Amino acid sequence: MARTLRRRDLLRSLGIGLVAAPFVDLLARPRASRAAGGATALRLVVFFSPNGTVPGHWTPEGGEADFTFPAGSILEPLTPVRDHLTIVGGLDFFGADNHEGGMAAMLTAKGGAGHESAGMSLDQFVAKELGASTRFASLELGVQTSAWGGNTQTRMSYSAPGQFVTPDDDPAHVYARLFGDFSGGDEAAAKLKARRKRVVDLLVDEARDLRGRLGAEERPKLEAHLEALAQVEKGLAGGGLGCALPDAPAALSPYDNDAFPDVGKVQMDLLLTALACDMTRVASIQFSHTVSPMVPSWLGIAEGHHSLSHIDDSNVAGVGQFVAAERWFAEQFAYLVDKLAATPEPGGEGSMLDNSLVLWAKEMGDSRAHVCKGVPFVLAGGAGGYLAPGRYLQYPGESHGRLLVSICQAMGLTNESFGDPAFGTGPLAGLGA
C-alpha cells in the first residue's frame, strides 16, 4: 500500500492525473456504464447564471424549427449562434423550491447515495467516466462564487451527497494549475515531458505483465486502462501541451465587483484553452451564485442582481434593468459557444462545438415567484451527433432529471435515471438522436 501511495503522489506531481493511477486501484473502482456505440459527445461544459429569470422576457417565439428571439428579449444576444442551440422549456425541479432548494437540485435532481447517480452532480457523474483519460477529471471555474464561503447557496457541483466541489475564482491560480509546469521555458517543458513519458512507459509495461494473470471479468477493464494510457502517450508525443502556451492573465482582483466581466472572460478563455489542450473534457463556469449580491455596474446599474430579480412588472424600469443584466449573461454564453464553434476539432472533423455539449443552467424559473417550475435550459453544440441543434422544445411539467439523463446519454453513458427516480426516468422524448 505504501508503494501505491507514493506512486499516486508522483503521478499527481507530474500532472498525469487519474488515468495513470495504479491499475489495481482502477480495476476496483466502480465506473458508470458506457454505451457500446452511437453518437456521443466528447466534452461537457456547464455554464451557470443565477437568480432565475422573467419568463415573459426569456421565452422564444415560434415553433420547434422556426423559433426566433424577440427584439429586446433576454435570449436575443444568442441570435448569431441560434443554429447551434437547442432551447428547452417547461421543466420542473421536483421536490425543490426557492433559491437554495433550486441550487441544490439543479445538477443533482435531488439524488441520494442509493440512487443511480449516487447523489453526484451531473458534471461530477460524467467526469467519473470521462475524466480517467485527461490530466484533470474536471475543472470548476468560478466568478465571485466564494465570498460567502461554501454552502448550498454558493455551490452547484457535488462529488457525493452534501460534498461540495469548490470552483476556483482566481484566474491567476487557475493559470498556475493548468500551465505552471510549462512556465520554465522549452527546456523545462521538455524535461517534464520526458519524466512523464518514463512514468507512463513503466505503467504500460506493468499493465501488460498483469494481463495474463487476470480473469475474463477484469481483462476488459485493463484493456480500457491500456487504451487510456495510449492516449496519454499520444499526447506526450505530440508535444506535452498539444497546444500553444497562453500568456499569463493580467492581475485581477477576483472579488472586485467591477472586475466581474474581466474575470469572467479570462476564466472562459482558460476553460476553452484547457479543453482545446485536452487537459479535461468536463468543465464548468459558475457566474456567482444564487442570491448573488453582484451589482452589474458595468451596465450603468446600481442595484444588486438578486434584488433586481424580484422586481414585479409594475416597476417597468426595474424589470428592464434585470433584463439588461440577463442579456449580458446571454452575451457571455454566446461568446463561449462562438469560440468553441470557431475552434477546429483537434485531430478530428468539424469544430469542437460539434463534438461538445454546453449546458446553460439556472436554479429557478420565475424569479419573482421563487419557484423551480418552468426552469429554462439552453443546450449548445451537436454533442457528436446526439443533438440536432436549431430547435425549441417544450416539456411542460416534466422533471428536469430526465434532461440530465439525456445529457448523460449524449456523453455515452447508459444510466436510465438521474437523481431521485421517483420524479421520472429515461431521457426526454425527442431531444436526442
Which tens digits make up the pLDDT trace of 334-370?
A: 999 999 999 999 888 899 999 999 999 999 999 999 9
* pLDDT over 60 (residue 272): yes
Query: Grid cell 471555474 — which residue?
Result: 141
Q: 87 - beta bridge partners? A: 378, 392
Q: Report whether 387 contacts 88 (CB < 8 A).
A: no
- The percent of residues in the chain predicted with pLDDT above 90, rounded, is 73
Q: Tens digits of per-residue pLDDT, 198-230? A: 666 776 676 677 777 777 777 676 666 666 666
Query: Distance (Å, rounded) from C-alpha 417 to C-alpha 433?
Result: 18
Write the CA distances from 259 to 173, 271, 305, 368, integer angstroms. 16, 18, 15, 28
Model pLDDT, residue 39 = 81
- To 5 degrees, how large is the angle CA 421–CA 422–CA 426? 45
- Select the more confidently predicted residue: 17 or 317: 317
Write the CA distances from 266 to 78, 270, 332, 381, integer angstroms. 20, 6, 11, 22
Measure the N-to-C terminal CA separation of the chain; round to a whole number of Å: 46
Q: Report whether 345 contacts 354 (CB < 8 A).
A: yes
Write the CA distances from 413 to 84, 127, 161, 248, 273, integer angstroms. 23, 11, 21, 36, 25
The bridge status of strand 85-91 relative to strand 158-160 is: unpaired
Q: What does the H/E/C string look like for 114-156?
A: CCCCCCCCHHHHHHHHHHHHCCCCCEEEEECCCCCCCCCCCCC
Model pLDDT, residue 189 = 53
Residue 96: pLDDT band (50, 70, 90) is very high
Average pLDDT for the chain: 87
Model pLDDT, residue 208 = 74
* pLDDT over 80 (residue 390): yes
- Select the more confidently predicted residue: 212 or 22: 212
Query: Grid cell 466581474 — which residue?
Result: 260
Q: For the sheet with 85-91, list strands across it.
A: 139-143, 282-287, 43-48, 356-361, 375-380, 85-91, 391-394
Q: Tens digits of per-residue pLDDT, 288-301? A: 999 999 999 999 99
Model pLDDT, residue 7 = 42
Domains, the chain, ranges and CATH? Answer: 1-30+179-239 (no CATH), 40-169+255-423 (3.40.720)
Q: Report whether 380 contacts 84 (CB < 8 A).
A: yes
- Select the more confidently predicted residue: 188 or 194: 194
Q: Tens digits of per-residue pLDDT, 115-162? A: 999 999 999 999 998 888 899 999 999 999 999 999 999 999 999 999
Q: How many CB atoms lie under 10 A from the CB of residue 317?
A: 7
Query: Distance (Å, rounded) from C-alpha 428 to C-alpha 424?
Result: 10
